[in-house]
Structure 1
Amino acid sequence: MSARRASVAPASDPYPRSPTVHPLPTAEAEIGEELAVVRPGLVSRYADELSGARASVLTRLWRALAHEPLPWVTGRERVRDGLVLRLADGRTLHGPPADPYATAAYVTAVRLGGTSYEDPARLMTGLAVPHGEAFAAELRHSAASLALSRADQPPVPETPPPAGTAPDWVWEQRVVDGHPFHPNCRSRPGFTVAEQLAYGPEHRPLVELCLLPVAAQDCLVTGVWPRELRDGGRLLVPVHPWQAEHVLKRPCEGGRLAAHPLMSLRTLALPDGPHVKTALSARLTSSVRDISVGSVAASAVLSDFAEDLAPRTDGLLHFTRTLGAATAHSPDLAAVWRESPRTYTAPGEQVLPVAALPVTGLADSPSWLAAFARLALTTGLRLLELGVALEAHGQNLLVVLSGSGAPLRLVYRDLADIRVSPARLARHGIAVPELPARNLTDDPMALRRKLFGSLVAGALAGVAGSREALRAALAAAVSDLPCTADVRALREEPLPAKALTLMRLSPGTPGDQWTTLPNPLVLDQGASDQ
Structure 2
Amino acid sequence: MRVCGTVAERELERQLSAIRPELTDTYLTSLPGARAAALARLWRGLVHEPLPWVAGRTSGRDGVTLRLADGRQLHGPASDPWATGTAIASLELDGRPYEHPARLVTALAVPGGQRFSAELDHSTASLALSRTAPAPPEPPAAPWEWEQRSPDGHPYHPTCRSRPGFSAAEQLAYAPEHRPVVTLRLAPVSGATVRGPWPAELRDGHLTLIPVHPWQAEHTLDGRTLLPGPAAHPLLSLRTLDLGQNLHVKTALSTQLTSAVRDISAYSVENAVITSEVAEAVAGRLGGRLHLTRTLSAAGADTPDLAAVLRESPYGYAGTGEQVVPVAELPAHFAPLPHSERRNRIIEFAHLALGVCLDLLDLGVALEAHGQNLLAVLDREGRARRLVYRDLADIRISPARLARHGFPPPPLTGRLLNDEPAVLRRKVFSCLVTGALGPLAGSAQALGTILQTATRDLPRTPDLRALMTERLPAKALTLKQLDPKSEQWALLPNPALLG
Q: TM-score range by the shorter chain?
A: over 0.9
Q: Please give the alpha-carbon distance, in whole angstroms, between the structure 1 residues aligned to 2:377 and 2:103.
A: 42
Q: Which residue of 2 aligns with 1:43?
A: 24
Q: Please give the alpha-carbon distance, in whole angstroms, between the structure 2 residues aligned to 1:252 and 1:403.
A: 48
Q: Which residue of 1 aligns with 2:305?
A: 332
Q: Which residue of 2 aligns with 1:160?
A: 139
Distance 1:29 1:381, change over 3 A: same
Q: Please give the alpha-carbon distance, in whole angstroms, between the structure 1 residues aligned to 2:488 and 2:322.
A: 38
Q: Please give the alpha-carbon distance, in whole angstroms, between the structure 1 residues aligned to 2:402 and 2:14.
A: 56
Q: What is the Cα deviation at residue 332 of structure 1?
A: 0.6
2:53 to 72, 81, 84: 72
2:65 is the counterpart of 1:84? yes
Q: Which residue of 2 aligns with 1:114?
A: 95
Letter in 2 for 1:76: R
2:443 is the counterpart of 1:443? no
Q: Please give the alpha-carbon distance, in whole angstroms, between the structure 1 residues aligned to 2:271 and 2:224.
A: 30
Q: What is the Cα deviation at residue 117 of structure 1?
A: 1.1
User: Any idea what SS the aligned residue of 1:257 has?
Assistant: strand
User: Any idea what SS the aligned residue of 1:169 has?
Assistant: helix
Q: Which residue of 2 aligns with 1:237?
A: 210
Q: Please give the alpha-carbon distance, in whole angstroms, between the structure 2 residues aligned to 1:258 and 1:250.
A: 22
Q: Please give the alpha-carbon distance, in whole angstroms, between the structure 1 residues aligned to 2:3 and 2:16.
A: 21
Letter in 1 for 2:67: R
**RMSD over aligned Cα atoms:** 1.5
Contact (CA 8 Å) 2:279, 2:365: kept in 1 or not?
A: no
Distance 1:400 1:380, change over 3 A: same
2:127 is the counterpart of 1:146? yes
Q: Which residue of 2 aligns with 1:210?
A: 185
2:461 is the counterpart of 1:488? no
Q: What is the Cα deviation at residue 361 of structure 1?
A: 2.7
Contact (CA 8 Å) 1:238, 1:278: kept in 2 or not?
A: yes
Q: Please give the alpha-carbon distance, in whole angstroms, between the structure 2 residues aligned to 1:59 and 1:420.
A: 35
2:174 to 199, 216, 221: 199
Q: Which residue of 1 aligns with 2:260?
A: 287
Q: Which residue of 1 aligns with 2:231?
A: 258
Q: Which residue of 2 aligns with 1:272?
A: 245
Q: What is the Cα deviation at residue 498 of structure 1?
A: 0.6
Superposed CA offset, 1:217-269 (max 9, x none): x2110011011111111111110011011101146633221000001110000
Contact (CA 8 Å) 2:31, 2:125: kept in 1 or not?
A: yes
Contact (CA 8 Å) 2:246, 2:316: kept in 1 or not?
A: no
Number of aligned pairs? Answer: 494
Q: Please give the alpha-carbon distance, in whole angstroms, between the structure 1 residues aligned to 2:147 and 2:20.
A: 23
Contact (CA 8 Å) 2:448, 2:497: kept in 1 or not?
A: no
Q: For structure 1, which segment, 249-258 or 293-302, has the greater mean C-alpha deviation from structure 2 after superposition?
A: 249-258
Q: What is the Cα deviation at residue 499 of structure 1?
A: 0.5
2:221 to 248, 253, 260: 248
**Percent of matched pairs sharing the same residue:** 58
Query: 1:502-513 maps to which residues of 2 (within 5 A)?
Result: 502-509=479-486, 512-513=487-488
Q: What is the Cα deviation at residue 465 of structure 1?
A: 1.6
Q: What TM-score does the superposition give when structure 2 sets the normalisation length?
A: 0.96
Q: Give the unaligned 5+ runs of structure 2.
A: none
Contact (CA 8 Å) 2:397, 2:416: kept in 1 or not?
A: yes
Q: Please give the alpha-carbon distance, in whole angstroms, between the structure 2 residues aligned to 1:274 and 1:311.
A: 22
Q: Which residue of 1 aligns with 2:115?
A: 134
Superposed CA offset, 1:18-42 (max 9, x none): xxx9861010111011001111111
Q: Which residue of 1 aligns with 2:351?
A: 374
Distance 1:281 1:430, change over 3 A: same
Q: Which residue of 2 aligns with 1:424?
A: 401
Q: What is the Cα deviation at residue 272 of structure 1?
A: 2.8
Superposed CA offset, 1:136-172 (max 9, x none): 1100111100000001223xx64224xxxx4232010
Q: What is the Cα deviation at residue 174 of structure 1?
A: 0.8
Letter in 1 for 2:144: W
Distance 1:251 1:437, change over 3 A: closer
